Amino acid sequence: MKIERPIIALDFPDKQTVDNFLKKFPANQQLFVKIGMELFYSEGQTMVQELIAAGHDVFLDLKCHDIPHTVEAAMRVIGKLGVKLTTIHASGGTSMMEAAVSGLLDGSNGDPSAKILAITQLTSTTEMQLHQEQLVTASMQTSVLNYAALAQQAGLGGVVCSAWEAAAIQAQSQPNFLRVTPGIRLAGNSHDDQKRVMTPDQAASNGSSAIVVGRAITQAADPVAAYQLVEKLWRKQV
């Protein structure tokens, strides 16, 4: 399973900045956009509702991580919004992940297109940090694969992972289990705070199901042209 449109990370501080960015695109173009914590905490549910009303698909990336009851309640609210994707941390455990699925199904009235993704290891995390700061003795890939297996067993729709781990997750998962990969850059872009990055075409070759692209598009001199290039590379049409 592959999501053909690149997901644009709307890492902006407020609605006005989002509106100014989206005005650059054709009025009838339906985008797949990600709302993260900064924008959601600034604008709340209204921002989600307005983007969906405008015809865009929304990935609400709030990375929920709490006791099962609390996460289930949060997912019930998120399910009512009509988002296509949302996130929780796999490190919260199997019971929390199962509760999240129950909450989302309840809130969305069983909508099969709404999916929860498990955060495995952040793409800003290095192997050294994994061992020295998290005190995880397993390798990065072993940790990510373990979280992915637990997420699939708990009924989640996929994982957020680095494109470097996507192929290995694909090999151990069902065909419809998503590997959504941030940390996507165009050749020559700065890596910024991301450590494990790939270009769109590299991600496509390495088993990603979907790519999340932020600064390579949002901070480009011509965001529409950058988006079109990312899309072509992702679809391997160049």
Residue 25 is inside which H or E element, if any? Answer: none
CA distances from 130 to 98, 140, 144, 189 (A): 25, 7, 11, 25
115: annotated active-site residue: no
Measured torsion, CA atoms of residues 128, 129, 135, 141, in degrees rounded to the nearest 10:
-70
CB of 229 within 8 A of CB of 5? no
**Active-site choice (15, 63, 80, 195):** 63
Amino acid at residue number 223: P
- Residue 148, C-beta contacts closer than 8 angstroms, at least 6 positions apart: 90, 118, 120, 159, 161, 169, 172, 173, 177
Q: How far apart are the first and last CA of the chain?
A: 21
Show which residues are catalytic. 63
